[in-house]
Structures are given as C-alpha cells and as structure tokens.
A = this chain, B = another copy of it.
Amino acid sequence: MKTFNSRPKHHRSTGRITLNDVAQAAGVSPSTVSRALRGERAVDPDLVQRVLAVSEKLGYVPDPAARALASQRSDHVTILIPMLTNALFVDLLEAAQRSLRAAGFQTLMGVTHYNTSEEEQLLREQLHHRPAGMLITGLDHSPSTQKLMARSKVPCVHLMDLPEELGPISSGDAERDAMPNGPYCVGFRQIDAGEAMTNHLLAKGKKRIVFAAAQLDPRVMQRLQGWRKALKARQMYDPTLEWLNPAPSSLALGGLMLEQIMKQNAAVDAIFFCNDDLAQGALLAAMRLGISVPQQVAIAGFNDLTGSDQMWPPLTTVRTPRAQVGEAAAQMLLQLIHGETPEHPQLDLGFEIVVRQST
C-alpha cells in the first residue's frame, strides 16, 4: 500500500495551495468550495462559513489562469485610451483603474495614439485574453473594430463622449435594433461645452473669436461644432477664424499658433483653444511676445488640466469630469459584467465653465 511517498507518474510539482486542499481540509467537495468562494447562492450558509474560514487559514488564492480557462472569462478589463501625453487620459485611467481594482479586476491598458487601426490591433490582442469587460475612449471606431466588439460579446462602456441626441424611436434602424439601449457610455456633450465657452467669450464682448485646435480627434471636432453653432446663432460665423492643425497637441504648438494667429489677423480678440496645453503654451508665448492677455486677446482652454490655475494670467477653461467619468464608467461596466442593467446607459456628467483672468 503506497502512502505519502506515492506520486502520479507525471506529477509536476507546484507549491501552490489549491481548491482541492481547501476542500479536503473543510471536508467538502471541490465543487462546493468553488461555489462557496464565488458567493454562488444555493450553498448552505454554514458550509460557506466553514469553507471561508479554512480557505483563509490556508491562505488559499484562486489561480486566475485556471479560473479563466474553466470559465472562459478572465479577471482582466481592457482600457483603451488615445494618448498618455494628454493628462486628461491619465486622470481617466487612474480613476477607472482604482474602481476596477477594488472590485478585483486587473486593468490592461492600451494606447491607440488616435489611430483606428492601432486601436483595432490592440483590441484584437486584448480579446485573446478574454477580458471580462472593456472601457474604450470615444464612440468612433472602424467598422471592423465595431464588428470585433460585437462578436466578442464582451461588455463595453465608452468614455468621454455621448451619442447625438436621438429623435423619436424609429423602427428599422439597424444599429439601434442591434443595441436596444444604445451604446453604453459615460461622458458629457462636447458640442455643448464648445458652445458654452464660445458664449462666455461673446458675453465678454469679444467679436472675433478664433477656434484653434490640434489633433483634430472626433471630440475636438465636436467642440468646433459647438463654437460654430454659437457664432452662427449670432450671424458671426467666419470660416477664416478656424485654425485646425492635425499635429499632436502641445505647449509649444500652442505658442506657435498664437504667434501665427496674431500675425495674420491682428483684429482677433479671443482665442478658444481646444485643449489646455495649447492654451497654456499660448499664455507663455504671449508673455514672451509682449501680448497682453486678456486686454489684447483673451485666451480660453479646455479640460482644466494641471497648471491652468497657476498660469499668469490664470486660464479660463472648461472643467471636464474625467475622474468621475473613469469611476462611473468602471461602475457601469461592473454592472454589465454582473448581468445588471445600468439605469442610465448614456450617462451625462456635464462640464463647468471656469472663469479666470485670461478672458
């Protein structure tokens, strides 16, 4: 009779404490341990207590790989953001990650560089890990990306944007039929924010308000739409006041744009930059060039990034709720993962115009 020295022929040693160990120590079957540990109902409360205690005592930690293999679902959540050089997305990432981690999920970050094919590639790689859910910036994705997402059946929440306001439900809309609640998303109305800031500038008596933008991603273009809308409403729209530069946003570019704008059109009395880094760069350049802000030209930004309140003069900007977006999106995703239905599939967290001395 073989005893402790007997081993299966192909034994591969691994020191790990397994679910089986817990089951033996607790005197129940592995199935029961599995159910108890995952909080599945339909387990005797006394057994749950016993299993929990034994598991705690042995220091048992479930193996994520085994769990993922057996259940076809990992504890990973994918988050796709465009850029790490824009502080906006760093804040978003940190907030989302904090909430997800608290719920026991690992965050897998991907940086798309505002490139839809990079996005698709990242998504494809991540999907191989069978994520439990995904958080994706924006609502604009290539058709094949959308197909990938749909086919994967992985719950998904979109960040920082909301779909256009929908008219009354019309049947026969293929997209809406496929997703009866619309895409899940948490953000705010970029177009409204663009319009609101423009209205602020108009209220300050500005007559020639430039919209100066870089990167030109979809959300920037929506802010542009808001600017257009406000100006058109007063018959003040002039396409030569649009300065659109596809280069990445940066302090240096903001300075350059200010210089070019003022050189070409001295009558400009306000510039609305699509992001704070551009506006901060413009403020710094104004100092260098001896342009007085806001007397000669008012400067406004977007996002209220770090440092905007420290500028001289302090920057008027739109405060966007990215930390709240990150957290709320994580919570919504957790609901979806647990099979619940979010109360507000499209969650609007709003924005705030922060008036400082630069306008």
Binding site for B on A (CB under 8 A): 12, 14, 61, 63-66, 68-69, 72, 74, 84-85, 90, 93-94, 97, 101, 106-109, 111, 125, 128-130, 250-252, 255, 280-281, 284-285, 287-288, 306-307, 309-312
Contact = CB atoms under 8 A, between A and B. Distances in A.
A72 B14 contact: yes
Contact of A287 (B129, B307, B312): B312
Given A108-B108, A306-B85, A310-B281, A65 B61 contact: no
Contacts of A68: 65
B306 A284 contact: no
Interface centre among A285, A288, A307 (most CB of B within 10 A): A307
B306 A129 contact: no
Contacts of A65: 64-66, 68-69, 74, 129-130
A63 B130 CA distance: 9
Contacts of A130: 65
8 contacts: A12-B72, A65-B66, A65-B130, A107-B109, A250-B306, A280-B307, A285-B310, A288-B312
Identical copies of this chain, number? 2
A284 B311 contact: yes
A109 B284 CA distance: 34
A255 B310 CA distance: 8
A249 to B, nearest CB: 11
Contacts of A306: 85, 250-251
Contact of A69 (B61, B69, B111, B285): B69
Given A65-B74, A285-B310, 19 more contacts: A12-B72, A61-B128, A64-B129, A65-B69, A65-B129, A66-B69, A84-B93, A85-B306, A90-B90, A101-B125, A106-B108, A107-B109, A280-B307, A281-B310, A284-B307, A284-B310, A284-B311, A287-B312, A288-B312
A225 B250 CA distance: 34
A142 B107 CA distance: 25
B284 A251 contact: no
Contacts of A64: 65, 128-129
Nearest to A64: B129
Contacts of A251: 306-307, 310
Nearest to A254: B310
A219 to B, nearest CB: 21
Contacts of A285: 310
A90 B94 contact: no
A14 B71 CA distance: 11
Nearest to A69: B65
Given A287-B287, A306-B250, A307-B280, A84 B74 contact: no
Contacts of A90: 84-85, 90
Contacts of A312: 284, 287-288
A12 B284 CA distance: 63
A251 B311 CA distance: 10
